[in-house]
Chains A and B, each alone.
Chain A
Amino acid sequence: MSDDTDLPGSSCYLDERTFRLSCGLFLEHSHSLNDGWAWKEVNGSEAEGYMKKTVMVSCQVSGMPYQSSQSKPVEASDALMEDEQGFPNCGMEEAGGEQTAVAEGQPVVRYEYHVLYSCSYQIPVLYFRASTLEGRSLSLDEVWNNVHPNYQQRLRQGPWDTITQQEHPLLGQPFSCCTRVGRRSS
């Protein structure tokens, strides 16, 4: 179907089959680490699906910027709900530096991460959404405020130029999407 060996830098692109195979390997690895990623089928069709991970995190939801001085370091597992993996730094996997500190009495926020395949661009795309336990979606500002300041700057510099709201192509609901703005025309 999508034979793109003629694309410049074709190693950057993957066809859908390679995406599924790569997901399989990724999920095996995740499973061995007990990291919580799972495959979700679309409409019971084995051929189509995406990777999903749900994380419960203690976060700031008042819209106030992150203030590490107010909180105390906590083991990731202390912030866990049953069957969910706590994931400090709100999804940022980079090591180095202490884990995002979590203060007692902080509201818990649910982060959902989905990795889908884009057949138009032939790359995987990351979608995510954050909501309170009552189901209220976090605004983009609130999401940014919960990214550790160390990572905020790096993220804003790219290659992920922006986080935008997009319709999830398989669920039809609003998600946030890390988009690469790419080459800017003159």
Chain B
Amino acid sequence: MADDKDVLRDVWFGRIPTCFMLYQDEVTEREAEPFYLLLPRVSYLTLVTDKVKKHFLKVMKQEDVEEMWFEYEGTPLKWHYPIGVLFDLHASNTALPWSVTVHFKSFPERDLLHCPSNSVIEAHFMSGIKEADALKHKGQVINDMQKKDHKQLWMGLQNDKFDQFWAMNRKLMEYPTEEGGFRYIPFRIYQAMSERPFIQKLFRPVSPEGQPYTLGDLLKEMCPSALPQDDEPKRYQVVIHGIEPMLETPVQWLSEHLSHPDNFLHISIIPVPSD
């Protein structure tokens, strides 16, 4: 359907206007100006912030510079989560631009993975795709692809090439018609207040009787507290790519159209703003 293809594009080209500011205790030779950038929702912080690094390095001495890391209101930002997920989870109901603080010292070893090079990002991204395919197709589709096909997925993401990426990714979105959907839906549910980083479990998109399960069904099983109870007012927003899909949406459709490039559905549960 033409509309559905548009959804794929809208998801891919989603952007978050961001203001990067240098942490005040970093040692600089002169004052650092903030740096503004439109961040792709579907990409990763360390992949798209070379310009940020270059900008701040202009006012710093090399010896005062270690691995760059980002923080929002005191919370170190996990570069290995998609940017859109970080924003939705931590800052979605705040005024734009998103204000992110940049650090070059005191890397928080207990909180963040190191990211010494783009090949680490690539490895992480590809391992997400492989895990998603293990869930969807027992890994058969990804394993049947050649190394150059895997590379095409990565290069498509890295270079922001929608067509290049989806030429390969469409294969990962296929399923036998008689099955009605994937084997299991690759998803992760995030809650800002939870100790647990995310909820990820096995979930079939179709019931044994052939009925498609919905987003509401998924939440009821995985995170029932996210759903409004009876007559209670709604306490949480269920956000994917910055929007709240209807709970009646079939998860199979969500998985095919609102997944991130890593083929996972990343769902953020955030408290309804109280204003």
Pick the interface stretch among B88-96, B138-146, B173-181. B138-146
Residues 90-112 of B at the A interface (beta carbon under 8 Å) = 109-112
Q: Given A2-B202, A185-B143, is A174 in contact with B196 using a C-beta cutoff of 8 Å? A: no
Q: Note all chain A residues with C-beta closer than 8 A to B112.
A: 174
Indicate if A167 sits at the interface (CB-CB under 8 A): yes
Say yes or no: is B27 at the interface (Cβ < 8 Å to chain A): no
B187-231 vs A, Cβ < 8 Å mask (1 yes, 0 no): 000000001111011100000000000000000000000000000
Q: What are 25 A-B pairs with beta-carbon distances under 8 A? A: A42-B196, A43-B195, A43-B196, A119-B200, A119-B201, A120-B200, A137-B109, A137-B110, A165-B113, A167-B78, A167-B80, A167-B113, A171-B195, A171-B197, A172-B195, A172-B197, A174-B109, A174-B110, A174-B111, A183-B143, A184-B147, A185-B145, A185-B146, A185-B147, A186-B147
Interface residues on A, range: 20 to 34
Chain B contacts for A184, CB-based, 8 A: 147
- Residues of B within 8 Å of A, CB-based: how many? 28
B123 contacts chain A at the CB level, 8 A cutoff? yes
Which residues of A sit under 8 angstroms from B150, Cβ to Cβ?
A: 185
Q: Known contacts A121-B134, A172-B197, A174-B109; can you find 10 more A-B pairs with CB under 8 A?
A: A7-B138, A42-B196, A43-B196, A120-B134, A166-B113, A174-B112, A174-B114, A185-B145, A185-B147, A186-B147
B19 within 8 A of A: no
Asked if A69 is an interface residue, CB under 8 A from chain B, the answer is no
Q: Is A71 an interface residue (CB 8 A)?
A: no
**Known pairs A120-B135, A185-B145, A186-B146; A136 contacts B198 (CB<8 A):** no
